[in-house]
A and B are shown apart, each in its own frame.
Chain A
């Protein structure tokens, strides 16, 4: 483990804001993508149950 303490880790040598915002935006973007695919699945399921028969 490289860090001395939790606050040391969060502080990131003074670059905490830049590092954590970068990571936050990355995971938020991935979460949005997954959420959009989930809504698409729900809307597909709701609008047509017959698809199972076709495939």
Chain B
């Protein structure tokens, strides 16, 4: 079996079409189960009260805002290295979902910060670097949209995506490197500071967000393939 055949849009398009439904069903089930445990079964937090329950979406959203950026930059590198059209389309299709999760992480963070810190927003290293991540996504999408020639817009935005990836470790380690108001990681290499049931609920939602991202991004790649194929068809028709 030749795995590289899936690198071509023609083979990828029907394959993605078959997979999307399963990812979507899995996402819906896991998000519901995770939130059921998190909102209805898990006990309250002895320090923060029930405001802590925002963690069940805030942390998975923040993880995926960073993770999707790294994956986007990875596809950008693949695109530039192999001049692979599908890799560019993947990178382009990841950006809106990454931006959405960044927005959700920032907003839910504000609604958690207000009752916990007494402020919707503070310019600490974690929040500021996450805001820069949102600007990077928006910058990537704007650049992609600003250049008409697809090959040039793919390459230019790929370079932006790759340069911007430096921000991801800054976000991740910001709570260690600087004295931030934002709390440290709940989960790190030495284990978790959360109660088992809270951790389980959060991880289930996170896997749900992962399946959601996959379903939405594959759908967007299909739209992208359709639109690019249409442009090619239109060019061919004018030549005739």
Contact = CB atoms under 8 A, between A and B. Distances in A.
Contact of A3 (B40, B225, B229, B233): B40
Contacts of A40: 220, 223
B114 A30 contact: no
Nearest to B97: A33
B63 to A, nearest CB: 14
Nearest to B10: A55
Interface in B18-40: 35, 39-40
A26 B108 contact: yes
B80 interface: no
A26 B114 contact: no
Contacts of A30: 100, 212
A12 B53 contact: yes
Given A9-B40, A26-B61, A19 B50 contact: yes
Q: How large is the interface on A (under 10, 10 to 19, 20 to 34, 35 or more residues)?
A: 20 to 34
A30 B27 CA distance: 12
Contacts of A19: 50-51, 53-54, 111
Mostly helix, strand, loop or mixed at chain B's interface?
helix
Interface in A1-51: 1-3, 9, 12-15, 18-19, 21-23, 25-26, 29-30, 33-34, 37, 40-41, 44, 47-48, 50-51
Contacts of A34: 216
Interface residues of B, number: 42
Contact of A22 (B10, B58, B219): B58
Contact of B43 (A2, A21, A26, A54): A2
Contacts of A3: 40
Contacts of B61: 26
A1 B40 CA distance: 6
Contact of B103 (A12, A23, A29, A41): A29
A30 to B, nearest CB: 7
Contact of A15 (B9, B51, B212, B233): B51
Contacts of B14: 55
Contacts of B96: 33
A51 B223 contact: no
B226 interface: yes
B223 A55 contact: no
Contacts of B54: 18-19, 22
Contacts of B219: 37, 41
B185 interface: no
A54 B50 contact: no
